[in-house]
Amino acid sequence: MTAGILGLGHYVPERIMTNKDLEKIVETSDEWIQSRTGIETRHIASENEETSDLAYEASVRALSDAGIDGEALDLILVATITGDMAFPSVACQLQKRLGATKAAAMDVGAACAGFMYGMITAAQFIENGGYEKVLVVGAEKLSKITDWTDRNTCVLFGDGAGACVMGQVAEGYGIKSFELGADGTGDTALYQENELIRMNGREVFKFAVRQMPESSENVVLKAGLTKDDVDFLVPHQANVRIMEAARTRLDIPKEKMAYSINKYGNTSAASIPIALSEEVQNNKITSGDNVVLVGFGGGLTWGAVLLTYGRGD
Ligand code: UT7
């Protein structure tokens, strides 16, 4: 049995914040932000729009795309570091709102790599026959833990959610290999203090430009494939320069890499499922494509998957 993607969906809040808007808040410039990160705008949730609301909107779209109801779900995993509250989990809130009465539910905490951890966890349940349908969501309202006085971080982040229904797919499709990792000694590079994000940008950058290419290459080799077999790369959207490092290592053209950081900034655990959902929606990723998903985040954590997109039915 192989686990794969049955449906995808994403949602971002309506309000757009531009780099020019940020120029009014901190000492920065549109030119600096664009040239150092690739970010032009980000979406920011309203006061009464919580992480679970973003997660819900993305999940409804993913369920509809998969052609199933909440009742069909066996498990809900939500990757987030910005849950509405410590408990109940966002996953439990979703379980209620989706009417997923028979689903178990929990949040997954691996920061920006959370969606990769969630997806790979889901695959284990599906492939060992324990569960048939698992909803994996990456959802963040980073704006509520952003220090809006710190120009080193506040220009980077945005809010949003992406969701994916996973289940068994036909032979030849689905997840072919994965890699997960963590390095707790990097706990001072990116962390939360007094409820706000703290980051040593250069440290995270150095780690990411090493890890993203390495993990991307590892999953290709583990799947018994070569770089030439890779059709599309969906990297965590943290910084275009980091994304480029992964793309260059896989030796694939620019148009074969998901690129939405310009519109949404870094949405942490939501960035990979949002990017994947958009590329599928725009027919850039189609059935049979070999896709590398790769992410990294605070912890430090990282994860990658090579999957052949599609259900094969
Ligand atoms: O999901 C994971 C989350 N985190 C990341 O992915 C972050 C990874 N790191 C990065 O993306 C980059 O390190 C940053 C975009 C955060 C920073 O880019 P950089 O090229 O590494 O810049 P830097 O930290 O070396 O700073 C260069 C200069 C500094 O000034 P001095 O010390 O050279 O005078 C900063 O103070 O740029 C200054 N600076 C800014 N200037 C204008 C830092 N932030 C800003 C800003 N606007 N927003």
Question: Is 164 tagged catalytic?
Answer: no
What is the spatial distance between Cα 242 and Cα 226, in angstroms, rounded to a whole number?
A: 22
Do 158 and 12 lie in a common domain?
yes
Give the DSSP letter of residue 261.
H
Provide the pLDDT for residue 126.
98
Do 104 and 192 lie in a common domain?
no
Do 125 and 239 lie in a common domain?
no
Q: How many Å lie between the centroid of ligand 1 and the Cα of residue 232?
A: 28
Do 178 and 145 lie in a common domain?
no
Query: Domain of 190: which CATH number?
Result: 3.40.47.10
Pocket of ligand 1 (CB under 6 A): 28, 32-33, 36-37, 112, 151-152, 155, 190, 199, 201-202, 204-205, 208, 238-239, 266, 268, 297
Do 189 and 149 lie in a common domain?
no
Count of the separate structural domains present in the chain: 2
Do 197 and 238 lie in a common domain?
yes
Domain-ending residue, one of 140, 169, 198: 169
Ligand 1 pocket test: pick from 205, 206, 236 the residue with the most ligand atoms within 8 Å of its Cβ: 205
Q: Out of 92, 154, 164, 236, which one is annotated catalytic?
A: 236
Bridge partners of residue 161, in order along the sequence = 11, 139
Do 241 and 162 lie in a common domain?
no
Bridge partners of residue 193, in order along the sequence = 196
Residues 6+ apart with CB under 8 A from 308: 4, 172, 173, 174, 176, 288, 289, 290, 291
Do 151 and 198 lie in a common domain?
no
Looking from the CA of 33 toward its CB, the CA atoms found within 13 Å total 28
Query: Is 197 within a domain?
Result: yes
Please state the φ and ψ torsions of residue 243, each to the nearest 5 degrees. -60, -40
pLDDT tens column, 1-48:
899 999 999 999 999 999 999 999 999 999 999 999 999 999 999 999
Of 207, 274, 205, nearest in space to 240 by CA: 205
Q: How many Å lie between the centroid of ligand 1 and the Cα of residue 201?
A: 6
pLDDT tens column, 245-264:
999 999 999 999 999 999 99
Query: Is 106 within a domain?
Result: yes
pLDDT band at 160 (very low <50, low <70, confident <90, very high): very high
Residue with tokens 């993990």: 215
Residue-range definition of the domain harbouring residue 266 = 174-308
pLDDT tens column, 64-92:
999 999 999 999 999 999 999 999 999 99
Do 7 and 154 lie in a common domain?
yes
What is the spatial distance between Cα 296 and Cα 303, in angstroms, rounded to a whole number?
A: 6
Do 18 and 87 lie in a common domain?
yes
Q: Quick count: other Cβ atoms within 10 Å of Cβ 229?
A: 13
Do 157 and 187 lie in a common domain?
no
What is the spatial distance between Cα 132 and Cα 116, in angstroms, rounded to a whole number?
A: 19
Query: Is 313 within a domain?
Result: no
Does the pTM surpass 0.85? The reply is yes
CB 139 within 8 A of CB 189: no
